[in-house]
Amino acid sequence: MTTTTRNRKLSPDELDSFGRELDEVRARAVAQLGQRDADYIRRIVAAVRWTGLGGRLALMIGAIGGAFVSGLLIPAWIVGVLLLALSKILENMELGHNVMHGQYDWMRDPHLDGKTYEWDIVATGDNWRKTHNYQHHTWTNVRGMDDDIGYGLLRLFPEQRWRPFYLFQPIVAVIFAVLFEWGVAIQDLRLGRWWYGKISNAQMRKNFRPVGRKMARQLIKDYLFFPLLAGPFFLPVLLGNIVANVLRNLWTYTVIFCGHFTADAETFAKESVKNESRGHWYLRQLRGSSNLTGGRLMDLMTGNLSHQIEHHFFPDIPAHRYAAMAVDVRAICARYGQHYNTGSLPRQFGQVVWRILRHALPSRPPVKRARLARSSA
Amino acid sequence: MSARPRPASTRLPARSDSPFRRLARPWLSPRVFDFWASRLHPTWSWERPLARIVERRAESADAVTLVLRPNRHWHGCRPGQHLNVSAEIDGCRVTRSYSPTGLPGRDRRVAITVKAVDGGKLSRHLCERAKVGDVLDLGPAFGDMQLDENAAAPRLFLAAGSGITPLIALTRALAARGMPAPLSLLYWARKREQLCFVDELRSYAAAHPRFQLRFLLTGEAADAADEGQGRIDAAQLATIADLADREVYACGPGGFVDEARALLAARTVSFQAEAFSPPPRTQEDLDGTVEITLAASARTVTVARGQSLLGALEAQGLKLASGCRMGICNTCACGKRSGSTRHLHTGDAQHEPVSALRLCVNSATSDLVLDL
Ligand code: FES
């Protein structure tokens, strides 16, 4: 693990008690799980369904009604798109992401079961449970183990080897943001490895089958079925669905990139996670994650990934509890002299954009600076 | 009143899917369908067997009977069988098995009789808080205690406490057929006020000379003619005519069933019994081994207590899905039908059935049944 001046180096004993104190925060939350959490997630389910229904109705009214009543199309279309995007964002973040982490498994409600939940994006839940729940959460920001570092597409850290392809990175990043759900969908297919012949065609066909099925289903639902309900006036509905999906993509991309690729976020070498203690694991999660400030609305719209640090510490605790847990977590981090990375959305996203631009060009890890800092400390 | 679930050998056949449902399945998420359907009617669902409480009445001093109206996804139950009933308590679905006391006739209603058990989560909830209109989840029927339809053999029913529930269903079924063979029912309770179905049983006794009924009290004196006193023993059983020809059905707490078996199993035509599951252990030792039944693959393995279940099962040669192996990714989670486990980090004990037990961070503290 690299040491920066913002973090105090912890002795093994300190690491252990650091881990223990965080375990206690977790235990306190677990002890409180109950009706309040069940009511909360059911309210989210209801919000997703009603805004989804409202959005689709508004688009339909705009498309069909707009053909007869002038001036109806545009406002109804805008309302429809916004409601549908809101529904999809809530479903993606606060519902799908959190349920698939198993945050509500304790309820034993088959509809909120982390192992079987299937969300409303083109990526299959099964692939995501592997790339995200397992690879990303276990190996957060470990180079070569956490594919979420640049998704095999972007160079965000100087430790990643530079290639001329990265000169196009600013454009690639924008395209990736617009098509984010498609990127997540093909992440587990590892097209790169297939391209270089490390995965056979037959294997690729097998891996692709469930992904292709999910993609087809999403395409037919949003871009065929619902538009065709409007009959000859399908075009505004089709456009509305496209825009709603793109809005959702842009938003989730923004939130997720702010979670791990801000200026102070660190990456780690594979060696650093061998025989990692629990305290050490917590520390790595802390240094690889960053929060967003912004209050309840921000928490809701990000599925509480505004508390990325707490999410990485406690991925299976119902996320609406992170805000309260963060008070303890911050105090613990302060006591152990660890930097708690948080900031407003514009500030954090600005840092992400800077990383994307900066590391498109050759850059070198700040080895010297770190060494200097350590020797002068 | 909760019995240990048996393998589903006697499950009723599932009804085949309608063509509409088959066609719609890939496109319609049950999650979405159920959300909207349940706005219209509390038990409408794409595929989940749900039932609404339509009536509740006191059955004894500490038991209630709940009459349930299941939706069309529930496929019925035979007398003497059990089914899993779940209710949501403090946000969490709690499941126990009950033996229906009233079975679906033309009105498709099913009744369960629930005795409030000390510290029993679901039984207390159902006895004290569940009200008409509440919705419960139903599981498929299971259990082997059923009447041999053809035999007109004389029978002996032994019930203790809530062990009466499967036996009242069998008694009713026989009464409805005019008691085709001699039937004796011995029914133990601590106090008179804890007996259920007393009037109904007495009316059967009055109507059918072949039905012999005896209430046995262990905690107070007998005074009615059909009452006796004391725990199960040879003297009580000696009052049964042609005991050796009887088919015996016994149901009650573990100790009672063991006693009945010791007294009768070698002396009668047949002996069927069902014992309630033992209470969860509180004092578990970390050494020794436990048996793990893998329900889906019909295997049983013996593993060491106190070891992570994932590691223990893998050591048995099982290939299991796993990821982080530290309790965060949920990959290894699988359903636990029964038995007790302990979380390796927190030490938390879990005695309830759960839908997703993380095998990598839990150890077995008793025999387990897993959905593997
Ligand atoms: S293997 Fe990740 S939770 Fe068990």
DSSP string, B6-48: PPGGGPPPPPPPPHHHHHHTTTS-HHHHHHHHHHH-TT--SS-
Q: What is d(CA B93, CA B88) in angstroms, rounded to the nearest whole number?
A: 4
Q: Is pLDDT of B82 > 50?
A: yes
B354 chain-A contacts, CB cut-off 8 A: 105-106, 108
Per-residue pLDDT averaged across A318-344, rounded? Answer: 96
Distance A318 CA to ligand 1 centre (A): 17
Cβ distance of A49 and B35 shorter than 8 Å? yes
- Of the pLDDT bands very low, low, confident and very high (cuts 50, 70, 90), residue B149 is low
| Nearest CA among A119, A52, A38 for reference residue A81 | A52
Contact (CB<8Å) B91/A107: yes
- The stretch A5-25 carries a mean pLDDT of 91
Backbone dihedral region of B123: left (phi > 0), alpha (psi from -120 to 50 degrees) or beta?
alpha
Q: Does B92 sit within 8 Å of A108, measured CB to CB?
A: yes
Look at A108 and B27 and tell me if their CB atoms are within 8 Å: no
- Among the listed residues A65, A4, A70, A347, the one whose alpha carbon sits nearest the alpha carbon of residue A233: A65
Nearest-CA residue of chain B relative to A316? B328
Averaged pLDDT of chain B:
85
The alpha carbon torsion through A209, A213, A218, A224 (nearest 10 deg) reads 130
Q: Higher-confidence residue: A349 or B307?
A: A349
Predicted confidence (pLDDT) at residue B344 exceeds the cutoff of 90: no
Q: Residue B363 C-alpha to ligand 1 middle, in angstroms? A: 13
Token pair for residue A269? 């070498």
How many angstroms separate the CA atoms of A324 and A313, rounded? 14
Which atom from ligand 1 is nearest to the alpha carbon of A133? 2
Q: Is the pLDDT of residue B67 over 80?
A: yes
Contact B346 A105 (CB under 8 A): no
What is the rounded average pLDDT of the residues B260-265? Answer: 90
CA distance A371 to A349: 28
Q: Which atom of ligand 1 is nearest to the CA of B361?
A: 4
Interval between CA A315 and ligand 1 midpoint (Å): 12
Arithmetic mean of pLDDT, B120-149: 86
pLDDT: is B8 or A108 the higher one?
A108
Residue A206, number of CB atoms within 10 A of its CB: 11
Extract the tokens encoding A102: 């198993």
Place of tokens 């993380």: B358
Q: With pLDDT > 70 as the criterion, what percentage of chain B qualifies?
A: 90
Q: Do the chains contact at A138 and B345, CB–CB below 8 Å? A: no
* Weakest-pLDDT range from A60-64, B1-5, B267-271: B1-5
**Closest-CA residue to A26 (of B327, B298, B118, B128):** B327
Q: Is the pLDDT of residue A340 over 50?
A: yes
Provide the pLDDT for residue A335. Answer: 96
Q: How would residue B286 be classed by pLDDT, with cut points 50, 70 and 90? A: low
The CA distance from A107 to A37, in Å, is 9
- Choose among A148, A182, A178, A167: nearest CA to A312: A148
| Percentage of chain A modeled with pLDDT above 90 | 75
Q: Do the beta carbons of residue B97 and residue B3 sit within 8 Å?
A: yes
* CA A75 / ligand 1 centre spacing (Å): 48
Taking an 8 Å cut-off on Cβ atoms, the answer to whether B92 and A45 are in contact is no
Residue B170: predicted pLDDT: 92
pLDDT confidence of B279, banded at 50, 70, 90?
very low
Which atom of ligand 1 is the closest one to the Cα of B323?
1
Q: Which structure tokens are listed for B35? A: 């959300």
Predicted confidence band of residue B150 (pLDDT cuts 50, 70, 90): low
Contacts of B345 in chain A (CB under 8 A): 23
**Residue A138 and residue B323: Cβ atoms within 8 Å?**
yes
Report the residue of chain B nearest A53, measured CA to CA. Answer: B36
Angle between helices A73-90 and A35-60 (to 10 degrees): 150
A225-257 per-position pLDDT tens digit: 999 999 999 999 999 999 999 999 999 999 999
Give the tens place of pLDDT for each residue, B171-200.
999 998 889 899 999 999 999 999 999 999
SS3 A333: helix
C-alpha span between B138 and B348 (Å, rounded): 28
Q: Please state, in angstroms and rounded to a whole number, the distance separating the CA atoms of residues B349 and B331.
A: 21
Per-residue model confidence (pLDDT) at position A369: 47
Helix, coil or strand: residue B96? strand
Share of chain A above pLDDT 70, in %: 96
Residues 6+ apart with CB under 8 A from B115: B1, B60, B62, B63, B123, B127, B161, B162, B194
Contact A134 B324 (CB under 8 A): yes
- More confident site: A307 or B269: A307
pLDDT score for B16:
57
**Chain A residues whose C-beta sits inside 8 Å of any chain B C-beta:** 23, 27, 30, 33-39, 45-46, 49, 100-102, 105-111, 113-115, 118, 129-130, 133-135, 137-138, 217, 221, 225, 281, 315-316
| Nearest alpha-carbon partner for B231 in B199, B267, B262 | B262
The structure tokens 């009511």 sit at A39
Nearest CA in chain A to B322: A134
DSSP B163: G
Q: Is A217 in Cβ contact with B330 (below 8 Å)?
A: no
List, in order, residues 6 or more apart from A279 with CB less than 8 Å away: A10, A14, A15, A16, A17, A18, A19, A20
Q: How far apart are CA A110 and CA B247, in angstroms?
A: 41
3-class secondary structure, B80: coil
Q: What is the pTM of this model?
A: 0.84
Compute how many other C-beta atoms are within 10 angstroms of the C-beta atom of residue A80.
26
Distance, CA of B323 to CA of B325 (rounded, Å): 6
- Asked if residues B72 and B131 have their Cβ atoms less than 8 Å apart, the reply is no
Q: What is the pLDDT of residue B281?
A: 43
Which DSSP symbol is given to A11? P
Distance A317 CA to ligand 1 centre (A): 15
Query: Distance between CA B59 and CA B66 in Å, rounded?
Result: 10
For B205, the token pair is 């006794």
Contact A108 B331 (CB under 8 A): no
Minimum distance, in Å, between the CA of residue A5 and any CA atom of chain B: 30
Inter-chain CB proximity B330 and A49 less than 8 Å:
no
Please tell me the distance between residue A112's alpha carbon and the centre of ligand 1 in angstroms. 18
Output the pLDDT for position A368.
47
Give the residue, out of B330, B334, B362, with the most ligand 1 atoms within 8 A of its beta carbon, to mutate for a pocket test.
Answer: B330
How much is the pLDDT for B5?
38
Question: What is the rounded distance in angstroms from the CA atom of residue B232 to the CA atom of residue B230?
Answer: 7
Average pLDDT on A286-299 reads 95
Over residues B33-37, the mean pLDDT reads 95
Q: Which of A260-274, A361-375, B7-21 has the highest mean pLDDT?
A: A260-274
| pLDDT over threshold 50, residue B87 | yes
Start-to-end C-alpha separation, chain B = 27
CA A313 to centroid of ligand 1, rounded, Å? 15
What distance in Å separates the CA atoms of residue A222 and residue B363, rounded to the nearest whole number?
A: 45
Q: Rounded mean pLDDT of B332-348?
A: 85
Which residues in A lie closer than 8 A to residue B356 (C-beta atoms)? 102, 105, 113-115
More confident residue, A117 or A272: A117
> Is residue A148 within 8 Å of residue A86, measured between CB atoms?
no
CB-defined site of ligand 1, < 6 Å: B 322-325, 327-332, 358, 360
Q: What angle do CA A137, A138, A144 make, to 5 degrees?
A: 100
Residue with tokens 């005695």: B351
- Other beta carbons less than 10 A from residue B236's beta carbon: 18
B347 or B48, which is more confident: B48
Å between B112 CA and nearest CA of chain A: 22
Report the percent of chain B where pLDDT is more than 90.
Answer: 43
Tokens at residue A45, please? 């389910």
Q: What are phi and psi of B28, to 5 degrees?
A: -110, 120
Q: What is the four-CA torsion angle of A163, A168, A172, A173, rounded to 10 degrees?
A: 90
Average of per-residue pLDDT across B14-31: 77
Q: At residue B134, what are phi and psi to the nearest 5 degrees?
A: -65, 150
* Cα B359 to ligand 1 centroid, rounded to whole Å: 7
Residues of B in contact with A45 (CB under 8 A): 35
* pLDDT at B120 (0 to 100): 80
Predicted pLDDT at B7: 36
* More confident: A274 or A356: A356
Contacts of B26 in chain A (CB under 8 A): 217
- Centre of ligand 1 to C-alpha B328, Å, is 6
Residue numbers in A near B326 (CB within 8 A): 138, 281
Does B328 contact A133 at a Cβ distance shorter than 8 Å? yes
The DSSP-derived string for A233-280 is: GHHHHHHHHHHHHHHHHHHHHHHHHHHH-STT---B-GGGGTT--HHH
Residue B332 clears pLDDT 70, i.e. is over it: yes
Ranking A13-17, B40-44, B107-111, B184-188 by mean pLDDT, the lowest is B107-111
- Is A293 within 8 Å of A305 (Cβ atoms)? no
- Partner-chain residue, chosen from A27, A105, A130, that has the shortest CB–CB distance to B333: A105
**Banded pLDDT at B349 (limits 50, 70, 90):** confident
Rounded to the nearest angstrom, the minimum Cα separation between A133 and chain B is 5
How confident is the prediction for chain A on average, in pLDDT? 91
CA distance B113 to B68: 11
Mean pLDDT of A277-285: 92
User: How does pLDDT run across A138-158, given as a tens digit for each residue?
Assistant: 899 998 888 888 888 899 999
Specify the higher pLDDT residue, A87 or B352: A87
**Given a cut of 90, is residue B304 above it in pLDDT?**
no
State how far the Cα of B112 lies from the Cα of A158, in Å rounded to an integer: 67
CA distance B116 to chain A (A): 22
Residues of A in contact with B328 (CB under 8 A): 133, 137-138, 315-316
Phi-psi region of A39 (alpha: psi -120 to 50; beta: other; left: phi over 0): alpha
Contact B290, B306 (CB under 8 A): no
Query: Angle at the Cα of A63 (from A61 to A67), degrees rounded to 5?
Result: 105
Residue given tokens 């002795």 in the structure block: A11
Chain A residue numbers with beta carbons less than 8 Å from the beta carbon of B331 are 129-130, 133-134
pLDDT, mean of residues A197-220 = 93
* Nearest CB partner across the interface for B330, out of A37, A221, A316: A316
More confident position, A48 or A66: A48
Q: What is the helix (H) or strand (E) element at residue B160, kind and residue range?
A: strand B155-160
d(CA B204, CA B211): 7
Of A208, A243, A226, residue with least CA distance to A88: A243
Distance CA B31, CA B45 (A): 9
In 3D space, the residue among B348, B340, B347 whose CA is nearest the CA of residue B366 turns out to be B340
- Check whether B348 has a pLDDT greater than 70: yes
Measured between CA atoms, how close is B149 to chain A, in angstroms? 37
Chain A residues within an 8 Å CB radius of B327: 316
Averaged over A5-23, what is the pLDDT?
A: 90
Give the largest CA-CA distance in chain A: 76
Q: Is the pLDDT of residue B151 over 70?
A: no
